[in-house]
């Protein structure tokens, strides 16, 4: 087994930047998005970016901070605080 922790704030910002590459977008505040998504996994962040892109596509506009606001309003982390605590206890129990 390998424990992979949820991404920290800087990693989340980099994930937002990565998943936004090649997409038509306005200037998006990925640092703010990263700070608001503590406990989110890489796949959660990919889903948020994809949802924001879909919302922008429906409007035939570039992805913007507003689209991220809408995407975030409808989605939380896929891991509950209890699940995170459980994984952390396993890491402590079996970690080196």
**pLDDT tens-digit readout, 43-61:** 999 999 999 999 999 999 9
Question: Are residues 56 and 28 in contact, defined by beta-carbon separation less than 8 angstroms?
Answer: no
The structural domains of the chain, with segments of one domain joined by +, span 9-94
Claim: this prediction has a pTM higher than 0.75:
yes
> How is domain 9-94 classified at the CATH fold level?
Helicase, Ruva Protein; domain 3 (1.10.8)
Q: What is the pLDDT of residue 96?
A: 64
Determine the average pLDDT of the residues in 8-30.
Answer: 96
**6 close to 79: Cβ distance less than 8 angstroms:** yes
Q: What angle do CA 2, 90, 79 make, to 5 degrees?
A: 85
Residue whose token pair is 């200037």: 27
Tell me, what DSSP letter sits at residue 5? Answer: P
């Amino acid at each position: 087994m390998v424990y992979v922790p949820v991404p920290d704030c800087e990693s989340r910002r980099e994930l937002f930047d990565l998943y936004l590459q090649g997409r038509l977008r306005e200037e998006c505040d990925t640092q703010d998005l990263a700070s608001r998504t503590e406990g989110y996994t890489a796949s959660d962040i990919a889903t948020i970016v994809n949802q924001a892109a879909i919302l922008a596509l429906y409007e035939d506009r570039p992805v913007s901070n507003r689209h991220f606001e809408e995407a975030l309003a409808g989605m939380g982390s896929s891991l509950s605080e209890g699940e995170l605590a459980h994984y952390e206890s396993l890491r402590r129990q079996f970690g080196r």
